[in-house]
Copies of this chain bind each other. A is one copy, B any other.
Amino acid sequence: MEKSGHPGGVPSPGLVFETLTAYQRSAALRAAIELDLFRAIGEGPGDVPSLALRCGASERGIRILCDFLTVIGLITKEGLAYRHTTTSALFLDPNSPTCLAATAQFLGNPRLKEPYERLTEIVRSGRTVMEGQGSVEPEDPVWIEFAHSMAPMMGPMAGPLGAIVLAERGGPMRVLDIAAGHGLFGIEVAKQNPEAIIVALDWAPVLEVARENARRAGIAARYETLPGSAFEVEFGGPYDIVLLTNFLHHFDRPTCIELLQKVRAALKPSGLAATLEFVPNEDRVSPSIPAAFSLTMLATTPGGDAYTYRELEEMLVAAGFHRIRAYPVPRAPHTVVVGEVDHRGQSSIAGKQSG
């Protein structure tokens, strides 16, 4: 679709119209996933009557939906037949092992979308209109859905994260996985290091999802669970590694520092803390996905944010960490930021060095 974001560029009332109606894009993709349309497109022949039959839907509905998905670049149209793009073949067809369709469940969760209906009020007050702590209210059931439906998006990052945290560490170790969710990050560490014992911390019902994933991965014997809030439960330890994935962004800086101090106290002197975050550049408006994510934190939390590398570094330093550095995850919008307890550690690890 046309776009004019550059000063001096072509003025575009179309961009205004398309932004005001952008909510239709989310609805169209969600409907297509619910109708199992992308599987039907992948299996061909892709014309309206056969897609309608396959999806148990009307021809008018399928034709208009497929045309719309073509306009927004998710599929293509050749004559009267709809075909996969590389993107839809890899990430939307359930026959693809990298299919992300399940993420529509969490990303379309009505409770997390509702605050956007009151965004004006949220910008005025500077915090979510959700009750209590918003999406980080204790025992919030959205995190069960997160654990189930976001695994396909988070899974591909587990391998790189595991390699980063195990780069200088091996042998018997205890690893605390805070806000484990689906558990995939801790499970990957256990897979990469057969001598690692994982302690997964999350709300009890979420831990059931993680435990099931650990069982499937064949590492259940080395998988322990610690139900409760990261702010309240005793971590135990000491640990060699603490993982803080998709977690700090929900909280304001004092809360993050407080938590990082508690993490540091639970680590061995040789220990490492690793966060996985959406980390925008210092300009806070690039790259697009990490930068745009701060709006989600405005809408759904009292004080969270998509923190820049400098901010994460400051928080880690304030909590007593040393040798802080960032590793962008290949082919993903996330960044791993690590810090160590001992300031005398070697600095042989590749990556953006700082502090």
Contacts and interface: CB of A to CB of B under 8 A. Distances in A.
B26 A21 contact: yes
A128 to B, nearest CB: 11
A25 B14 contact: no
A104 interface: yes
A153 B30 CA distance: 29
A348 interface: no
Interface string A298-310: 1100010100000
Interface in A29-58: 29-31, 34-35, 55-58
Contacts of A163: none
Interface residues of A, number: 99
Interface in A92-118: 92, 98, 100, 103-104, 107-108, 110, 113, 116-117
Given A67-B284, A294-B64, A34 B120 contact: yes
Contacts of A25: 19, 22-23
Contacts of A85: 4-7, 9
B26 A23 contact: yes
Nearest to A73: B5
Contacts of A153: 13, 17
A5 B56 contact: no
A31 B55 CA distance: 37
Interface stretch (A184-192, A207-215, A236-244, A285-293): A285-293
Contacts of A12: 87, 91
A114 to B, nearest CB: 11
Interface of A: 1-31, 34-35, 55-65, 67-68, 70-74, 76-77, 83-87, 89-92, 98, 100, 103-104, 107-108, 110, 113, 116-117, 119-120, 122-127, 153, 283-286, 288-289, 291-292, 294-299, 303, 305, 332-333
